[in-house]
Amino acid sequence: MNMDKKPLLGMTLSELQVLVSQAGLPKFTAKQIASWLYKKKVTNIDEMTNLSKKNRDLLNQEYTVGAANPIQAVKSVDGTIKYLFSVGDKNSIESVYIPDEDRATLCVSSQVGCKMNCLFCMTGKQGFSGNLSANQILNQIQTIPESDTLTNIVFMGMGEPMDNLDEVLKVLEILTSDYGYKWSPKRITVSTVGVRKGFERFLQESDCHLAVSIHTPIASQRKDLMPAEKGLPISEIVNILRDYDFSKQRRLSFEYIMFKGVNDSISHAKKLLELLDGLECRVNLIRFHAIPNVDLNGSDMETMTVFRDYLTKNGVFTTIRASRGEDIFAACGMLSTMEKNKNK
Ligand SMILES: C[S@@+](CC[C@H](N)C(=O)[O-])C[C@H]1O[C@@H](n2cnc3c(N)ncnc32)[C@H](O)[C@@H]1O
Ligand code: SF4
């Protein structure tokens, strides 16, 4: 990508409208450009052939499409593919493509590293290097070879989406608008630990599904695992969620990594049921991907099954998420950390 020119990919229709008016192009060209970008997925302004040669030249002076292919792809034996994208001079981010029967999900990153510093997360260990722009987020979706066959997008890669909400909301708009990908918001899930500045705004401004990373119902324990609990406690998150209707199209789920001997007892399951009482939601149990230098182990499958069955029997539908791509360092942040260390 030419770094001197501004990327068009990632611009919303209203941003394109401002752009064309400033460049002196006819108003209707904004919609034409959006269609070339998001429906025909061109990689070069010269391919926008219903714009006059003069107008394309004008655009070319300052702008570029701004699509950049992944720099690395690592395929797992189970079909999962981890893509590495270069951002800026030194950094890289990851996306994971997960094919599963009739679904093809892409797990995208929203930040380079993360400020939230969760004890169990490799991305958290990297620290925070910066927000991804809407261009860099959408680029992950648009440039992989499987782009046109994707059925779902999950914001469960590197970073905390609610900590970069302006850019994430732009991408959600492009993905769900008539001028953009025209996807149903039901195909998109945004995962969060809960960040005060951003959480309610997301609920108000987006119809996409929400996944809250909970990991334990006990506040003191959550604080140890996830410092973000200090900023927005899980009890408050649940109270905010009670004001929204999740009984129709929009789905609410809670992500729960199961750590051996830490949060996998029936007493934890009981407390979780109390906390979620009356909320229309489901729980996804996640197997822990061990990371270096962290004294936590994943629960065994038998314990996870007992925990799942207890929750489901007591009215909260619970699943165990299949662990994918373990042979390719699928724990988020692993591949980019290796790349970082290589570059040092
Ligand atoms: C990487 S985060 C990104 C989205 C957001 N920051 C969050 O935490 O929900 C996506 C999910 O991966 C989980 N996760 C992080 N590190 C993990 C690990 N080592 N093993 C399993 N899941 C992990 C998080 O708890 C979260 O539920
Ligand atoms: S789990 Fe999510 S919020 Fe926590 S450090 Fe990792 S990316 Fe950030």
pLDDT the model gives residue 130: 96
**HSE-up (13 A, CA, CB side) for residue 34:** 24
Please work out whether the CB of residue 123 comes within 6 Å of at least one atom of ligand 2.
yes
Q: What is the pLDDT of residues 303-314, one digit of tens each?
A: 999 999 999 999
Q: Residue 157: what pLDDT?
A: 94
Q: Would residue 79 be called left, alpha or beta, if left means φ above 0 and alpha means ψ between -120 and 50 degrees?
A: left
Is there a catalytic annotation at residue 107?
no
Report how far residue 86's alpha carbon sits from residue 92's, in angstroms, rounded to the nearest whole number.
4
- What b/e readout covers 81-93, taking b as 16+ CB neighbours within 10 angstroms? bbbbbbbeeebbb
Residues 198-245: tens digit of each pLDDT: 999 999 999 999 999 999 999 999 999 999 999 999 999 999 999 998
As a whole number of Å, the CA-based R_g of the chain is 21
Distance from Cα 3 to the centre of ligand 1, integer Å: 31
Ligand 1 center from residue 161 Cα (angstroms): 12
Question: What is the full DSSP assignment across 293-329?
Answer: T----BPPHHHHHHHHHHHHHTT--EEEPPP--GGGT
Q: Running DSSP on this structure, what letter comes out for residue 212?
A: E
Catalytic annotation present for 339: no
| Residues 167/117, Cβ–Cβ less than 8 Å | no
The backbone torsions φ and ψ at residue 331, rounded to the nearest 5 degrees and listed phi first, read: -60, 125
Catalytic residue among 229, 281, 332, 339: 332
Active-site position among 47, 94, 146, 274? 94
Q: What is the pLDDT of residue 88?
A: 86
Q: Which residues are bridge partners to 256 per DSSP?
A: 285
- Say whether pTM exceeds 0.90: yes
**Could you give the dihedral angle defined by the CA atoms of residues 40, 15, 44 and 179, in that order, rounded to the nearest 10 degrees?**
0
Instruction: Give 54's contacts (C-beta < 8 A, 6+ positions apart).
Output: none
Q: pLDDT at position 334, please?
A: 62
Give the sign of the dihedral formed by CA 216, CA 222, CA 224, CA 228.
positive
- Below-50 pLDDT ranges, the chain: 1
Residue 249: per-residue pLDDT: 84
- Give the closest residue (by CA) to ligand 2 atom 5: 124
Q: Which CATH code fits 72-343? A: 3.20.20.70
Dihedral sign for Cα atoms in the order 34, 35, 36, 42: positive
Q: Which among 116, 114, 299 has a CA at the least distance from the CA of 222?
A: 116
Q: In sequence order, which ranges of the chain are alpha helices (DSSP H)?
A: 13-23, 29-38, 53-62, 122-126, 134-143, 165-176, 196-205, 219-225, 234-241, 266-276, 301-313, 334-343
3 state SS of 27: coil
DSSP 147: G
Say what the pLDDT of residue 324 is.
75
Q: What is the pLDDT of residue 322?
A: 80
What ranges do the domains of the chain cover?
A: 6-64, 72-343
Question: What angle (nearest 5°) sits at the alpha carbon of residue 181, between those of residues 180 and 187?
Answer: 135
C-alpha 28 to ligand 1 mean position (Å): 42
Tokens 């570059």 sit on residue: 343
Question: Would the CB of 162 count as within 6 Å of ligand 1?
Answer: no
* pLDDT at residue 175, rounded to an integer: 98
152-155 and 103-107 beta bridge pairing:
parallel
Helix (H, G, I), strand (E, B) or coil at 52: coil
| Whether 190 contacts 209, CB under 8 Å | yes
Q: List the CATH code of the domain at 6-64.
A: 1.10.150.530
Q: Is 15 annotated as a binding residue?
A: no
Question: Would the CATH topology of 6-64 be identical to that of 72-343?
Answer: no
pLDDT for 329 equals 58
Distance CA 68, CA 135 (A): 10
What are the start-end ranges of the E strands in 71-208? 72-75, 81-87, 91-100, 103-107, 111-113, 128-131, 152-155, 188-192
**What does the alpha-carbon distance between residue 70 and residue 266 come to, in Å, rounded to a whole number?**
44
N- to C-terminal Cα distance for the chain? 24
Residue with tokens 């099954």: 305
